[in-house]
Structure 1
Amino acid sequence: MSLSSSQQRIHKTALKLFAESGSTNISVSELAAASGVARGTIYNNKLSPETLFEDIASQLSVEMNARIIKSFGNEEDPAIRLAQGVRMYIRRAHEEPDWGRFICRFAFSSTSLMALWTGSDSPLPDVIAGLESKRYTFREDQLISIMSLIAGSVLTSIFLVLEGHKTWRDAGTEIAELLLCALGISREEAFKIARMDLPPLLEL
């Protein structure tokens, strides 16, 4: 869904309110006041308070993973793609703390946000490709646990960064290395891949 500049501004404000409150419900008055607009502006931009949380969560899921895939360029190695994707998540959470807090609060409770880990543009297809090509060595019946490990590791790393316990560089590099080892990449190669230059996160 393509958003106008005013819709993007209101979405950004709503994301901040959701992240700070931990609630999936905010009033039109609250959103209008925080956005610095009149109540009518919310309605004129066709934003429904009843569906705003899921609208934002759905857009966030699609947008982030699509940007990561675009940023990969011609890279086809699933191990490199996974390591870079993980690090891009953690870097963005450092650069956009409200975005990171929103994910940390709702990633396992929102159906829309589950697409971050299970959708067609999520890490899932790359993990499956890595298993089928023998790049990874975990058992097929462990796939769900592997995806849970990736999701939980990313969220925990984001939390550590937001709380000031780790820099995004250290958290991203360390968790990328550990995840690759868990998937069957040798320690030496995992160390190298996790420290490759990280490309910028491209806009769509």
Structure 2
Amino acid sequence: METLNPVQRRIHQAALRLFAEKGANQVNISDLAQEAGVARGTIYNNLQSIDDLFHRVAGQLASEMHERVVKSFGDNADPALRLANGMRFFIRRAFEEPHWGAFINRFAMSDDSLRGMWFGPPMADLVSGVASGRYSIRGEQLPSAISMIAGTVLGSMFLVLEGHRTWRDAGSDAAELTLRALGVEAEEARRLASGELPPLPTLD
């Protein structure tokens, strides 16, 4: 993951908020400088273009969330628990950091970096679950299963961002229904989806 200095981090955070609110093509240098609380020259010195900044922010978000979720698993190798917790982490973070959630929700299916979130560790755990017999889907159904997981997470994040569900209820329902669709027994799926969710580790 790209290492940012404090000024770059400030610019990225400001860009995240603006992109989430306005869209990828509606942000200019003046907006960014004002939101970040820095001079326009500082913005010019730290980015090539607004378009490049958007892709860097998206890539940073994707890699950072992957690393934190994977770090949370520790030595736990159960693909079903890893999937349930991973889904819930995304949904909880959308509640805790609404601009982060809005950015992911708005661009996750249109930006290559964000689309790639679903084909990293989630796909590896899905493959592991199929290979071990934890899931009952067929191998050729893996791409459809990943699409189902992505759609379920994004839809649940939207419910939370709009205030229709709590992150706990939305997250547990999303994880439980997904595990059941993959072939986990109903009682176990509910247990895995409703257990205590640990803190999301930092990368410090």
Identify whether the pair has TM-score above 0.5, normalized to the shorter chain.
Answer: yes
Give the corresponding residue for 1:17.
18
CA distance, structure 2, for counterparts of residue 16 and residue 171 of structure 1: 24
Q: Are 1:27 and 2:28 matched, yes or no?
A: yes
Q: Which amino acid aligns with 2:173?
A: E
CA distance, structure 1, for counterparts of residue 161 and residue 48 of structure 2: 29
Kept in 1, the 8 Å contact 2:47–2:53? The answer is no
Q: How many residues end up aligned between the 2 structures?
A: 202
Kept in 2, the 8 Å contact 1:176–1:194? The answer is yes
Q: Which amino acid aligns with 1:40?
A: G
Give the corresponding residue for 1:200.
199
CA distance, structure 2, for counterparts of residue 59 and residue 36 of structure 1: 21
Say which SS state the counterpart of residue 69 (structure 1) adopts: helix
How big is the shift at 1:25?
A: 5.0
Give the corresponding residue for 1:44.
45
Q: Which amino acid aligns with 1:141?
A: E
> Could you list the per-position Cα deviations for residues 90-144 of structure 1 after superposition, in whole angstroms to 9, with x for gaps in the alignment?
000000000000011111110111111013xx31100000000000001111111
CA distance, structure 1, for counterparts of residue 72 and residue 48 of structure 2: 30
**Further displaced range: 161-170 or 33-42:** 33-42
Report 1:28-177 matches (<5 A). Answer: 28-46=29-47, 48-119=49-120, 122-177=121-176
> Could you list the per-position Cα deviations for residues 11-38 of structure 1 after superposition, in whole angstroms to 9, with x for gaps in the alignment?
0110111111123452111100111110
CA distance, structure 1, for counterparts of residue 73 and residue 44 of structure 2: 38
How big is the shift at 1:46?
A: 4.2
How large is the Cα RMSD of the aligned pairs?
1.1
Structure number with higher helix proportion = 2
How big is the shift at 1:178?
A: 0.4
TM-score under structure 2 length normalisation: 0.96
Say which SS state the counterpart of residue 201 (structure 2) adopts: coil
Q: Which amino acid aligns with 2:56?
A: D
CA distance, structure 2, for counterparts of residue 141 and residue 149 of structure 1: 14
CA distance, structure 1, for counterparts of residue 77 and residue 58 of structure 2: 28
TM-score under structure 1 length normalisation: 0.96
How big is the shift at 1:6?
A: 1.6
Aligned sequence identity (%) = 55
CA distance, structure 1, for counterparts of residue 25 and residue 91 of structure 2: 23
Residues 85 and 24 of structure 1, relative CA distance in 2, 3 Å threshold: farther
> Could you list the per-position Cα deviations for residues 124-175 of structure 1 after superposition, in whole angstroms to 9, with x for gaps in the alignment?
1000000000000011111111000000000000000000000000000111
Gaps of 5+ in 1: none
